[in-house]
Amino acid sequence: MKKYIEQLKEKPEPVRKQIALVGAIIGSGIILIFWITTMSFDAKNVIADSKEKIVSPLSMIRENAKDTYDGLKASVQIPVAPSENIESIPTVETVDTSPVEEQTINY
């Protein structure tokens, strides 16, 4: 392979461009053939499934958007304390404000 690349480097630029174009077309053709063969198998399944249930694209988009919104809403939701436990929230009157003893650290 390395020897072939060295031979390509020695050729004129128009020839190298032509070889690159042919290589790209062949590579794209192989990918296209693979894609078409896999799509034909999927298309048969889709056609069989579509006879059972036909769904419009807009309803699919709406359903996906709703699911995404519900998922984001659930992940961002902030828990709210129950109203009967409001008395347990510390207030200025219930917080201990007595002075704390100073501690010295000896090195």
**DSSP reduced 3-state for 12:** coil
Q: What is the pLDDT of residue 84?
A: 55
pLDDT at 94: 54
Please give the chain's pLDDT, 107 residues, in tens.
Answer: 889 888 888 999 999 999 999 999 999 999 999 888 877 665 556 555 555 666 777 888 888 888 888 888 877 766 655 555 555 555 556 556 666 677 677 76
Q: What is the pLDDT of residue 19?
A: 92
Question: pTM for the complete prediction?
Answer: 0.37
Q: SS in 3 state form for 49-102?
A: HHHHCCCCHHHHHHHHHHHHHHHHHHHHCCCCCCHHHHHHCCCCCCCCCCCCCC
